[in-house]
Chain A
Amino acid sequence: MIRFMQLGISALLMLLVASWVVAAPYDSTYVPRPTADFVIRNAVVYDGTGLEPKVSDVVVKDGRISAMGVDLNLEGLQIIDAKGHWLTPGIIDVHSHLGVYPSPSIASTSDGNEATAPSTAQVWAEHSVWPQDPQFALALEGGVTSLQILPGSANLFGGRGVTLKNVPSRTVMGMKFPGAPHGLKMACGENPKRVYGSRKSAPSTRMGNVAGYRAEWIKAVEYKAKWDAYDPKGEKPAPSRDLKLETLVGVLDGEILVHNHCYRADEMATLIEISKEFGYKIGTFHHAVESYKIADLLAAEDICSAMWTDWWGFKLEAFDGIQQNVALVDQAQACAIVHSDSARDIQHLNQEAAKAMTAGRRMGMQISGARALRWITLNAARSLGIDNETGSIEVGKAADLVLWDHDPMSVYSRAQQVFIDGYLYYHRDDAARQPITDFALDQLVGGGNE
């Protein structure tokens, strides 16, 4: 056993060393932690794809799902008997500000909005993330295994978002989801026009917003042409780099996914026109409280909507928010996601999905719990471009798993065990499996001072 552990540790060290050496600047240095192969037996499994849950065994080898079903060969596997429990894929939040708006929330930790110019596409949210934000551990307790950290919405172009694995790490690179594309945060509506209009600068109107996006995309297209024409072997010097336009070109090249904060249906439609003018794709409208008014358009354009369940009325563009938004978008065969945008609600996205389902049922719509679970797993993974890797319990995918003590569609359900790439990062009954941030030490509940 000791020998096995030593082997494991040296393998881990080698991997770590390798990743330090190989990783390009800013790249992920995350390496899955080695763990014994195991099987979770007899749980009711929601696979995240929308299929009805059924009792099944799930085998994890080398941190990945290697088999599922009944009567499997379990030789050599550690057994976790999960009879009476529910198993789901790890929850994914496509819209979070953990780390950039951490707790405690004070001026010196407020790092989410570079509200100094309408386009700050050059900033990267990951360079504000404080890995010691105690809210990461709380989100883990809620079953969140992956999350996208976005810049705020003060600007037309807010900067790059980053997708993280919800693992304890001394560096943000150690949390970055390997291979996940960057996001570009864009924002329409009240926020940019309010922030800059109040400073008597552009934009101060919604038409000013639209002119602002277009002007930047024109620059990006020109910049891309310059670089496309550049021949590294030729004699002409390379064009000078522009961090801002590099991000936008990443979108034009399809390497960076657009995450567009937008509330009103008519504005979403206008943003779609802009994407057509410049030849890029909008991946996901965030907040999207009026998606239900144009669900057919969003389905036709293959654009996801990331939504709250019951937030409304905090500003005029959120006044028409209804609890059936998610259900109506889903019914129209458009990609529906429940997001949090909140350090509180990220801890119970399963309840938010359940409430959205219930709101639809209340009005006579037929929606299953399995369908609702997809809104916080596979659809979310798709929005982040990580659906080949996670978001559902399918053979070959990462073993990002949550074991619940009740049906996750119940308010009484609590995550008992949370696995990321097969490693048990959280166990409700084992203090040794509950991450403690530095800030928590001797200060916060769980930090050793109760």
Chain B
Amino acid sequence: MSAPARKLRVATTSLAGCFGCHMSFLDIDEHLFELVELIEFDRSPLTDIKEVGPCDIGLIEGGVCNAENVHVLRAFRRNCKTLIALGACAVNGGLPAQRNHLPLSECLREVYQFRPGIANGQIPNDPELPLPLDKVRPIHEVVRIDYFLPGCPPSGPAIWKFLTDLIAGRSPRLTGGLLHYD
């Protein structure tokens, strides 16, 4: 792939995720050298930039489990021309969403008050802590999403295929066994 006139600006973040998708992103290994010829990073755990700026591509790992996630997701949507749900949790809520059939108060009490070994436990209530939502949501239920890349995590080759399709101006397509939900 020839280098574009201007490098594409890419932002990434993990909301209610485990950073496994980001680890998988790094699993594209030596393709990272090709990638840095084509893109530069904006907000991302890789740069430590705290606020997202105008970008071509935004990669979102994880679902939406609290108020801060909503804020970050909306900021990404405002700034990114193309927004991508990266991985199972962003696509359908994933593991964090498995609390969805339980009342939130019960979850919090179970973890912070009744867990064995806890004495005088209290549910954290610091104003700095983002408030949890009653249900964990996939990101497409909060903002418009342009592309979805499922998998837990999507494999390095799947991420590479997806990004190279996108950068080359093709509709990204996961063929040849690259599409997996697990």
A and B form one complex? no
* A residues apposed to B, CB below 8 Å: none
- Residues of B at the A interface (CB closer than 8 Å) are none
